[in-house]
Amino acid sequence: MIPIARLKASFPRVAARVEPHFDFVRKATTFALIGVVNVGVDTGVFFTARYIFGVLAPLPSGEEGAVRLAVANVIAWAVAVSGSYVMNSFITFAAESGRKLRWRDFATFAMSGVLGLLANTAALLAAAEVMPVVPAKGCAILTSFVVNFGMSHFVVFRPRARPTGP
């Protein structure tokens, strides 16, 4: 028996209240799981770029350190957003996208992701002022998850209007 059927059989009133929200919870869960994959991609690219820029040692003070962090963060985001679009189009928002990759949808996804990037970078720079870079990057990732899921759910992959009539 699938979990919803079991829930309906055991607790029909609870199931009636919860069932309308299952799709949203499923989407948030798969978006988060895809996000875990993207955390690996983003973090790997971020620390590789950071290393290449020569900032593996403690960050220099002032603007130079912040600029290097921000540039490494933008590069990591650009790589991760592409994979995120593909995975979310085929898994999380398959019904809305029709499991089709479209340049226009990618552009919308990437543009909406800029808001997440800005939130991510701001959180990274703010957190890096009070903690080491690794936990600061974690704070930035959590911040952007909230922004990116909201934008994906409510803007990028909203259900498309279906034509009516013959």
pLDDT at residue 151, rounded to an integer = 86
- Backbone dihedral region of 58: left (phi > 0), alpha (psi from -120 to 50 degrees) or beta? beta
**What's the whole-model pTM score?**
0.65
Which residues in the chain show pLDDT less than 50?
1, 55
pLDDT at residue 1, rounded to an integer = 43
DSSP 8-class letter at 1: -
74-103 pLDDT per residue, tens: 889 889 889 999 999 999 888 888 888 988
pLDDT at residue 126, rounded to an integer = 93
Helix, strand or coil, per DSSP, at residue 19: helix
Helix 103-128 and helix 133-151: axis angle, to 10°? 150
